[in-house]
């Protein structure tokens, strides 16, 4: 190791609503440091720059052999942001106009015409992001077979663009029917916007989501246009701040697919960053799981107000190409992350039929649970854990926060009286109900897609994840749990472990037979050349380039596709039986049957391009034997329904647990930002990366 | 306190289950029906199932009481609640084996509400004991270009018969059904998807039993019914006691004249009594409503009005009492035709809301679109095969006490999606020319009704047979508390089309027809609408200058 190397830091910054987490990795020593600063919601770039600057200085100052004057260098910045998501939730995008096919300007409001909530008469459809008078129709029409019935008229387009300019829009979305087949009309509009209205952000549907189903494509391009200027101005503020603190490397931003892209690419397609935050947690969890030797994972990130769960099969996070985000259908590659309103702060109550319910109402961080003593009187999940003493009943955050257990008990008593149960059974009931909510969320991403949770390992993180993982795993019959060393900052860590990634696609409806071979080869040639450009733009070295092809297929009469990977190799007739077989085996796995006589149809070709970046390598520690006695810092009586009462459990200090140490349940391990619960009949072992691995006993 | 079942002392036949286990098992039941629904939709062939999601899934106990129903289409409950009774009438309980699957659709002997909704139901056995039913219903896009004078004209009537016997497909039955369908290959694959959905439900139900014990699971299901009943009663109790009535007309392209419909509701404590005496006799047209369809619309209306969060199970039905004269249009007997039964159902739902409006003004909504439908069929010149395209067209929903009604949405008992244009044009020889909101169709009021929709479709290179209707061409959706009526529905056609006879029409190649749905009624005096909202509706071309000026009194230049 040279001194120079010891001064090189890779930085991950996860900017959340309350805190900005910075994770620093030293390229020379392999040291990982964590730094937290308060977020600056008005201009998040302030906290980000400050967090990096302070974090690097502090981490560099700690280092031994640091006598040189050479300043620390930032060699990589990975950033996860909620800017796009927040602007969409709060409807703080810009005034946007739409240019679309004659006869279809109202498609945005008609949508799929269904009620979002079947019985709730007060429910509404999502607010249209473009006003009706800002949606302008032009005469043009392309057909399903690519035939142009009505050519587009340049003069008409020019006047439409001028109208939008005069109306004061800042952004223009373009969406014509069948633009995924023939993009010339959209390209013409784009050119005219550039000529007539160069200051506008412009986004065309064939670029953002070149796939069929017009409403979903329209919704995607509109969300993109609506968020474009917001993301641009955010990144334009952030870029000089990063330069000011001496970070000269091009920064990267995470997308919803778990990969990172350049700031420039994120500015063009902000719609692809809506799940920027949670997707990094998934990447972090995958890395931790792999190091521990497991590639089939269910990730479980439980925070204060919600939980995010996702499935990783064979080292591949499950991806979807479409999802509904905050009410808006989005066609973009996203990790299949399911979010439920169940977190530590979720409030428990009794409904009009007398049953106990938990969430989605949350006490948030302020005032937080009753036991924080900051004014909330409604019992939360955390209060239940404090009463059961799963969580420390006197203090949290390593002593920085006092806990008022009596207040929590009082609040839960109120529910207990009405349920006719005692306070402990009620507290345990709150935990059971919130666990059931999360079981439901995990079943959606696992069993509903043909994956059996018994074949997976649960990675539990977020502040509340490790507290609830043991019970959740037992319900799902998941055999094993991994709790990372720093469950609270896994997202920031994930930013140091993320590759560059882009997904391209092309819709062509074709029968799976010899006639498909030529269009298939042509489509992939186009996608490959787009990826080659992307590799060039992101300066990715040839040896760091990875490509993965897939084809969406279905039985010719179905509407929903299954995505089948296409291995490398020349496209020729030998591929056809292999593709059919792969499709049928996936169909059987998903639906339980195949239809041998039915023709199979191709709908969409997909190519994922990855640029592998050098990653933080986590340190490995030697085995120090099974005896964890040295890490015991006390004992706590914890309520277990299995034992019908309190059981005295050893409490371990997470910082002092060493590789090889064994924990026999019931046991607890406390750390600054979380507590790990090991149930009776479960055992846990600390692995060489200081993860706790819990073996879940069968019930 | 939660005690694992195996640690409990053996007790009477029905163990008590604590409220927390009930909640956990209740969640499991809802997850099962949702999973069944996803399987059905994703595997199906019919556009009506895969794109329009016109299907429903449910679990029943052996007596036919609903344990859980997925949130798809409220109307379908009618088909589902009927079939168990009819299966059991024909097939003694101890004759039913694991792996039997019954198929049925008849409105009078099969528990259906119209023939396109075909039900498949399969028993769930656990440790050799028959404990529940997994079932689903799907709207098959078939039986088109038929008559609707009586049910024999409307398609194949299927009483509940075994499609599978102990896991073996009864090929004779399948052949018999497919021969009577116009698009048999789609039917076959839709049946496969329906079977897959039930099988999924059975496996999941067995797992719940394995986890919690069969007796506890069944006891929890029983407790869930009691729970739904309590919540329903709690909601009804908040409605002031009294007798409430409403009368309204209904017309449509599918029958002559106007039907004068009536509903009388008595609220007594925590119970509701619906009386439909005085409604017209059933008619020789497709709009007759059978008993279970009437029940399902009432259950929808009550759940929506008193508490949308009530679990969708049979406990909800207990405090609700219904009487309707047999042989009337709201309780039809064989052989009345039933294809377009939703026309009457939608208007009855409007009327129930309007009747209760004086009692619960902040919960009701004004009248909504009565529905609109268009079916195209013919020989597809691109394939030489017969095709069926069917579409229900959303419209304006009634305005609410504190906000406007939803635009361009499916109302009440219906909730089918539309078909993506890029998908339907690739599949059928049709071009959608326009798909738009209709200006001035929203009933004016302090809060305005939702806007209606126009969908205009052209036949390409072939002559198409079209069946289409709008319900409320002369009897518009009414407003409440001074709100005005929404726009009426109507049919439109291009110059080369011979004007439709009732709902039937022949569309030559290159010609087009359009269905225009109705708009929602307004709520409250239009004179009191906030000026900024009137101005915005005007700027956005949702209302005309004259509406803004003459009805809302907005000064214009």
What single DSSP character describes residue A670?
E
A106 → closest Cβ in B1, B393, B435: B435
- The answer to whether the CB atoms of A641 and B3 lie below 8 A apart is yes
Mutation test of the interface with chain B: which of A110, A554, A604, choosing the one with the most B Cβ atoms within 10 A? A110
Among candidates B122, B130, B154, B134, which has minimal Cα distance to B56? B134
Interface size, chain A vs chain B, as Cβ–Cβ contacts under 8 Å: 214
- Indicate whether A365 belongs to any domain: no
**ipTM > 0.90 for the complex:** yes
Three-class secondary structure of residue A424 per DSSP: helix
Mean pLDDT of chain A: 89
Between helix A575-591 and helix B19-43 the angle, nearest 10°, is 150
Its pTM stands at 0.87
Q: Is the pLDDT of residue A85 over 50?
A: yes
A125 & A203 share domain: yes
Q: How, if at all, do strands A674-678 and A667-671 pair?
A: antiparallel
A576 & A663 share domain: no
Between helix B214-237 and helix B19-43 the angle, nearest 10°, is 90
Three-class secondary structure of residue A123 per DSSP: coil
Q: Is the pLDDT of residue A63 over 70?
A: no
Q: How, if at all, do strands A8-15 and B504-507 pair?
A: unpaired
The whole-number pLDDT of residue B3 equals 32
- Indicate whether A351 belongs to any domain: no
Three-class secondary structure of residue A175 per DSSP: strand
Q: Is the pLDDT of residue A86 over 90?
A: no
Structure tokens at A431: 């935990």
Q: How far away is chain B from the Cα of A449, in angstroms, using its nearest Cα?
A: 9
| Close Cβ partners of B549 (under 8 Å, ≥ 6 residues apart) | B555, B556
Provide the percentage of residues in chain A whose pLDDT is more than 70: 97
Q: Is the pLDDT of residue B387 over 90?
A: yes
For residues B52-90, one letter each, b for 16 or more C-beta atoms within 10 angstroms of the residue's C-beta and e for the rest, the string is bbbbbbbbbbbebbbbbbbbbbbbbbbbbbbbbebbeeb
Structure confidence by residue, pLDDT tens digits, A256-306: 988 888 888 899 999 999 998 889 899 999 999 998 999 999 999 998 778
Structure tokens at B216: 């506890």
The whole-number pLDDT of residue A67 equals 45
Q: DSSP string of B30-86?
A: HHHHHHHHHHHHHH--SHHHHTT--EEEEEEETT--EEEE-SS-GGGHHHHHHHHHH
pLDDT tier, B174 (very low <50, low <70, confident <90, very high otherwise): very high
CA gap B157, B50 in Å, rounded: 24
CA gap A571, B482 in Å, rounded: 68
CA gap B161, B177 in Å, rounded: 11
Overall domain count for chain A? 4
Q: How far away is chain B from the Cα of A223, in angstroms, using its nearest Cα?
A: 19
A176 & A261 share domain: no
The whole-number pLDDT of residue B556 equals 67
B20 → closest Cβ in A178, A353, A356: A356
Mean pLDDT of chain B: 92
B394 → closest Cβ in A110, A177, A357: A110
- Indicate whether A136 belongs to any domain: yes
B44 → closest Cβ in A143, A422, A558: A558
Three-class secondary structure of residue B223 per DSSP: helix
| Close Cβ partners of A293 (under 8 Å, ≥ 6 residues apart) | none
The Cβ of residue A18 has, within 10 Å, a number of other Cβ atoms equal to 12
Three-class secondary structure of residue A97 per DSSP: strand
A675 & A658 share domain: yes
Q: Which residues of A touch B228 (CB under 8 A)?
A: 353
- Indicate whether A377 belongs to any domain: no
Q: Which residues of B touch A213 (CB under 8 A)?
A: 420, 422-423
What single DSSP character describes residue B492?
E
- Indicate whether A478 belongs to any domain: no
Q: Which residues of A touch B410 (CB under 8 A)?
A: 113-115
A605 & A644 share domain: no
A126 & A159 share domain: yes
A103 & A225 share domain: yes
Q: What is the mean pLDDT of residues B41-54?
A: 84
Q: Is the pLDDT of residue A645 over 60?
A: yes
Mutation test of the interface with chain B: which of A117, A182, A352, A422, choosing the one with the most B Cβ atoms within 10 A? A352
Q: Is the pLDDT of residue A65 over 60?
A: no
CA gap B428, B461 in Å, rounded: 11
A103 → closest Cβ in B44, B365, B436: B436
The whole-number pLDDT of residue A169 equals 98
Q: Do A482 and A691 meet the contact criterion of CB atoms below 8 Å apart?
A: yes
Structural domain of A264: 3-87+234-273
Phi first, then psi: give them for residue B136, nearest 5 degrees.
-150, 160
- The answer to whether the CB atoms of B425 and A109 lie below 8 A apart is no
The whole-number pLDDT of residue A66 equals 47
The radius of gyration computed from the CA coordinates of chain B, to the nearest angstrom, equals 24
Parse chain B into domains and list their residue ranges: 10-231, 365-557
- Indicate whether A112 belongs to any domain: yes
Q: Which residues of A touch B72 (CB under 8 A)?
A: 118
Q: Do B141 and B373 meet the contact criterion of CB atoms below 8 Å apart?
A: no
**Least-confidence region, from A18-32, A158-172, A552-566, B355-369:** A18-32
Q: Is the pLDDT of residue A487 over 50?
A: yes
A448 → closest Cβ in B38, B426, B431: B38
Phi first, then psi: give them for residue A107, nearest 5 degrees.
-50, -35
Among candidates A256, A392, A377, A386, which has minimal Cα distance to A325? A256
Q: Is the pLDDT of residue A59 over 50?
A: yes
Q: Do B379 and B461 meet the contact criterion of CB atoms below 8 Å apart?
A: no
pLDDT tier, A699 (very low <50, low <70, confident <90, very high otherwise): very low
The whole-number pLDDT of residue B127 equals 94
Q: Is the pLDDT of residue A592 over 90?
A: no
* Number of residues in chain B: 557
Provide the percentage of residues in chain A whose pLDDT is more than 90: 54
The whole-number pLDDT of residue A461 equals 94
The whole-number pLDDT of residue A2 equals 55
Q: Which residue of A has its CA nearest to B54?
A: A114
Mutation test of the interface with chain A: which of B42, B200, B310, choosing the one with the most A Cβ atoms within 10 A? B42
pLDDT higher at A442 or B73: A442
B421 → closest Cβ in A113, A177, A557: A177
Q: Is the pLDDT of residue A486 over 90?
A: no
Q: Is the pLDDT of residue A125 over 50?
A: yes
Structure tokens at B7: 């640690």
B20 → closest Cβ in A131, A429, A443: A429
- The answer to whether the CB atoms of A436 and B27 lie below 8 A apart is yes
Q: How far away is chain A from the Cα of B283, in angstroms, using its nearest Cα?
A: 30
CB burial class (10 A; 0-12, 13-18, 19+) of residue B477? Answer: buried
Q: Is the pLDDT of residue B12 over 60?
A: no
Q: Is the pLDDT of residue A26 over 90?
A: no
Q: Is the pLDDT of residue A36 over 80?
A: no
Q: How far away is chain B from the Cα of A523, in angstroms, using its nearest Cα?
A: 19
- CA B418 from chain centre, in angstroms, equals 14
**Least-confidence region, from A215-219, A421-425, B35-39:** B35-39
Query: What's the longest Cα–Cα distance across chain B?
Result: 83
- The answer to whether the CB atoms of A114 and B19 lie below 8 A apart is no
Mutation test of the interface with chain A: which of B422, B519, B537, B539, choosing the one with the most A Cβ atoms within 10 A? B422
- Indicate whether A469 belongs to any domain: no
Among candidates A532, A506, A531, A529, which has minimal Cα distance to A519? A506
A126 & A10 share domain: no
- The answer to whether the CB atoms of A113 and B453 lie below 8 A apart is yes
The whole-number pLDDT of residue B7 equals 36
- The answer to whether the CB atoms of A177 and B422 lie below 8 A apart is yes
Among candidates B469, B250, B258, B273, which has minimal Cα distance to B371? B469
pLDDT tier, B283 (very low <50, low <70, confident <90, very high otherwise): very high
Residue with tokens 């205009």: B456
pLDDT tier, B9 (very low <50, low <70, confident <90, very high otherwise): very low
Q: DSSP string of A273-324?
A: GTTHHHHHHHHHHHHHHHHTT--SEEEEEE-SS-EEEEEEETTEE-EES-EE
CA geometry: angle A178, A182, A183, nearest 5 deg: 100
Structure confidence by residue, pLDDT tens digits, B298-323: 999 999 999 998 988 999 999 999 99
CA gap A511, A580 in Å, rounded: 11
Sheet holding A96-101, edge to edge: A135-138, A96-101, A171-175, A201-204
CA gap A306, B555 in Å, rounded: 49
Structure confidence by residue, pLDDT tens digits, B470-485: 999 999 999 999 999 9
A574 & A661 share domain: no
Sheet holding B504-507, edge to edge: B385-392, B372-380, B464-470, B504-507
* CA distances in angstroms from B491 to A24, A417, A532, B437, listed in the order given: 67, 61, 53, 15
β strands within A512-599, DSSP E: 545-555, 562-566
Among candidates A278, A326, A304, which has minimal Cα distance to A434? A304
Q: What is the mean pLDDT of residues A613-633?
A: 88
Q: Is the pLDDT of residue A617 over 80?
A: no
For residue A553, what is the domain's CATH number? 3.30.1490
For residue A139, what is the domain's CATH number? 3.40.1360
- Indicate whether A422 belongs to any domain: no
Q: What is the mean pLDDT of residues B281-295?
A: 95
For residues B501-514, one letter each, b for 16 or more C-beta atoms within 10 angstroms of the residue's C-beta and e for the rest, the string is ebbbbebeeebbbb
Provide the percentage of residues in chain B whose pLDDT is more than 90: 80
**Least-confidence region, from A69-83, B132-146, B176-190, B448-462:** A69-83
Q: Is the pLDDT of residue B441 over 60?
A: yes
Q: Is the pLDDT of residue B451 over 70?
A: yes
- The answer to whether the CB atoms of A355 and B408 lie below 8 A apart is no
Q: Which residue of B has its CA nearest to A475?
A: B211
CA gap B334, A201 in Å, rounded: 63
Torsion sign over Cα A631, A636, A640, A645:
positive
């Amino acid at each position: 190791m040279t001194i120079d190397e010891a001064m090189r830091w890779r930085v991950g910054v996860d900017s959340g609503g309350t805190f900005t987490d910075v994770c620093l990795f030293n390229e020379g020593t392999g040291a990982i440091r964590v730094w937290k600063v308060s977020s600056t919601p008005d201009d998040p770039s302030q906290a980000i720059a400050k967090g990096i600057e302070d974090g690097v200085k502090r981490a560099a100052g700690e280092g031994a052999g640091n006598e040189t004057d050479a300043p620390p260098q930032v060699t990589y910045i990975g950033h996860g942001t909620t800017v796009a998501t927040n602007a969409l939730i709060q409807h703080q995008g810009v005034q946007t106009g739409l240019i679309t096919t004659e006869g279809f300007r109202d498609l945005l409001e008609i949508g799929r015409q269904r009620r979002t909530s079947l019985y709730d008469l007060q429910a509404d459809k999502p607010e249209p992001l473009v006003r009706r008078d800002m949606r302008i129709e032009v005469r043009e029409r392309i057909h399903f077979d690519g035939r142009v019935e009505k050519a587009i008229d340049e003069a008409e387009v020019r006047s439409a663009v001028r109208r939008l300019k005069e109306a004061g829009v800042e952004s223009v979305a373009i969406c014509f029917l069948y633009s995924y087949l023939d993009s010339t009309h959209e390209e013409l509009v784009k050119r005219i916007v550039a000529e007539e209205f160069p200051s506008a952000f412009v986004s065309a549907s064939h670029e953002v989501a070149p796939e069929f189903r017009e409403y979903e494509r329209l919704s995607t391009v509109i969300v993109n246009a609506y968020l474009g200027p917001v993301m641009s101005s955010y990144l334009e503020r952030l870029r000089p701040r990063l330069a000011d603190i001496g970070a000269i490397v091009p920064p990267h931003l995470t997308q919803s697919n778990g990969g990172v892209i350049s700031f420039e690419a994120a500015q063009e397609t902000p719609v692809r960053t809506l799940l920027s935050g949670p997707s990094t947690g998934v990447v972090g969890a995958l890395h931790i799981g792999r190091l521990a030797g497991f590639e089939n994972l269910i990730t479980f990130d439980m925070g204060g107000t919600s939980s995010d769960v996702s499935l990783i099969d064979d080292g591949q996070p499950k991806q979807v190409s479409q999802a509904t985000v905050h009410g808006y259908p989005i066609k973009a590659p996203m990790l299949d992350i399911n979010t439920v309103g169940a977190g530590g702060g979720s409030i428990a109550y009794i409904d009009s039929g007398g049953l106990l319910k938990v969430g989605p109402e949350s006490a948030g961080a302020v005032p937080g649970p009753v036991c924080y003593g900051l004014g909330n009187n409604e019992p939360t999940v955390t209060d239940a854990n404090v009463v059961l003493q799963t969580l420390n009943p006197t203090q949290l955050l390593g002593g920085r926060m006092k806990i008022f257990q009596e207040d929590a008990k009082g609040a839960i008593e109120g529910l207990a009286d009405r349920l006719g149960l005692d306070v402990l059974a009620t507290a345990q009931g709150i935990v059971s109900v919130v666990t059931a909510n999360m079981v439901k969320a995990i079943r959606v991403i696992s069993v509903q897609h043909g994956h059996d949770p018994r074949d997976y390992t649960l990675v539990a993180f977020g502040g509340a994840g490790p507290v609830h993982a043991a019970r959740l795993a037992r319900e799902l019959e998941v055999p094993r749990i991994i709790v990372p060393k720093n469950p609270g900052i896994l997202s920031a860590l994930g930013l140091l472990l993320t590759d560059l990634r882009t997904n391209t696609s092309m819709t062509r409806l074709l029968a799976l037979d010899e006639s498909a071979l030529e269009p298939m080869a042509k489509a992939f040639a186009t996608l490959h050349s787009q990826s080659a450009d992307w590799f060039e733009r992101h300066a990715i070295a040839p040896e760091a380039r990875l490509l993965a092809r897939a084809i969406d297929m279905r039985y010719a009469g179905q509407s929903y596709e299954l995505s089948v990977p296409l291995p490398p190799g020349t496209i020729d007739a030998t591929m056809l039986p292999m593709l059919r077989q792969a499709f049928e085996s996936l169909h059987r796995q998903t639906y339980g049957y195949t239809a041998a006589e039915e023709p199979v149809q191709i709908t969409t070709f997909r190519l994922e391009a990855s640029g592998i970046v050098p990653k933080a390598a986590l340190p490995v520690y030697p085995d120090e034997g099974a005896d964890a006695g040295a890490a015991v810092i006390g004992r706590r009586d914890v309520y277990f329904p299995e034992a019908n009462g309190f059981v005295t459990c050893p409490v371990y200090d997470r910082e002092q647990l060493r590789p090889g140490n064994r924990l026999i349940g019931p046991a607890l391990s406390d750390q600054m930002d979380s507590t790990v619960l090991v149930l009776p009949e479960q055992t846990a072992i600390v692995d060489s990366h200081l993860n706790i691995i819990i073996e879940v006993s069968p019930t | 306190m939660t005690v694992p079942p195996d640690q409990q002392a053996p007790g009477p036949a029905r163990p008590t289950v604590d409220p927390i286990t009930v909640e956990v098992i209740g969640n499991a039941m809802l997850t099962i029906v949702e999973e069944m629904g996803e399987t059905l939709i994703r595997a199906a062939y019919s556009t009506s199932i895969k794109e329009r999601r016109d299907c429903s899934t449910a679990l029943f106990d052996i007596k036919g009481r609903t344990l859980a129903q997925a949130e798809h289409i409220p109307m379908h409950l009618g088909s589902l609640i009927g079939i168990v009774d009819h299966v059991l009438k024909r097939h003694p309980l101890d004759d039913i084996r694991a792996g039997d699957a019954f198929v049925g659709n008849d409105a009078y002997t099969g528990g259906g509400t119209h023939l396109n909704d075909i039900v498949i139901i399969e028993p769930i056995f656990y440790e050799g004991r028959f404990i529940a039913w997994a079932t689903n219903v799907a709207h098959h896009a078939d039986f088109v270009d038929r008559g609707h004078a009586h049910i024999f004209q409307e398609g194949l009537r299927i009483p509940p018969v075994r499609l599978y016997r102990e896991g073996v497909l009864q090929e004779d039955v399948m052949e018999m059904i497919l021969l009577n369908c116009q698009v048999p290959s789609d039917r076959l694959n839709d049946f496969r998807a329906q079977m897959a959905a039930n099988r999924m439900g059975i496996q999941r139900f067995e797992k719940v039993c394995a986890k919690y014990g069969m007796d506890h699971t069944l006891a929890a299901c029983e407790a869930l019914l009691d729970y739904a009943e309590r919540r329903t009663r709690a909601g009804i109790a908040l409605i002031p006691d009294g007798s409430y009535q409403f009368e309204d007309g209904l017309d449509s392209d599918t029958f002559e004249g106007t039907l004068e419909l009536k509903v009388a509701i008595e609220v007594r404590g925590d119970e509701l009594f619906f009386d439909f005496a005085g409604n017209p006799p059933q008619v020789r047209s497709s709009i007759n409503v059978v008993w279970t369809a009437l029940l399902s619309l009432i259950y929808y209306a009550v759940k929506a009005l008193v508490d949308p969060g009530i679990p969708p199970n049979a406990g909800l039905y207990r405090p609700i009492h219904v009487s309707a004269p047999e042989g009337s249009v709201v309780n039809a007997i064989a052989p009345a035709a039933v294809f377009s039964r939703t026309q009457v159902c939608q208007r009855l739902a409007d009327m129930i809301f309007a009747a209760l409006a004086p009692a619960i003004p902040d919960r009701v909504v004004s009248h909504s679109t009565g529905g609109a439908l268009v079916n195209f069929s013919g020989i597809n010149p691109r394939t030489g095969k017969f095709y069926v395209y069917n579409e229900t067209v959303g419209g304006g929903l009634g305005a609410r006490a504190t906000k406007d009604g939803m635009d361009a949405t499916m109302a009440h008992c219906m909730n089918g999606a539309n078909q993506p244009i890029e998908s339907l044009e690739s599949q059928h020889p049709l071009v959608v020319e326009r798909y738009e909101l209709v200006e001035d169709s929203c009933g004016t009021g302090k809060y305005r009704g939702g806007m209606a929709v126009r969908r205009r479709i052209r036949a390409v290179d072939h002559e198409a047979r079209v069946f289409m209707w709008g319900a409320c061409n002369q009897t518009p959706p009414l407003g409440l508390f001074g709100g005005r009526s929404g726009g009426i529905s109507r049919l439109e056609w291009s110059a080369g089309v011979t004007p439709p006879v009732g709902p039937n029409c022949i569309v030559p190649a290159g010609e087009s027809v359009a269905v225009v749905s109705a708009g929602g009624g307004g709520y409250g005096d239009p004179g009191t609408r906030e000026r900024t909202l009137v101005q915005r509706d005007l700027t956005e071309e949702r209302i005309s200058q004259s509406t803004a000026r003459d009805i809302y009194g907005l000064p214009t230049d």
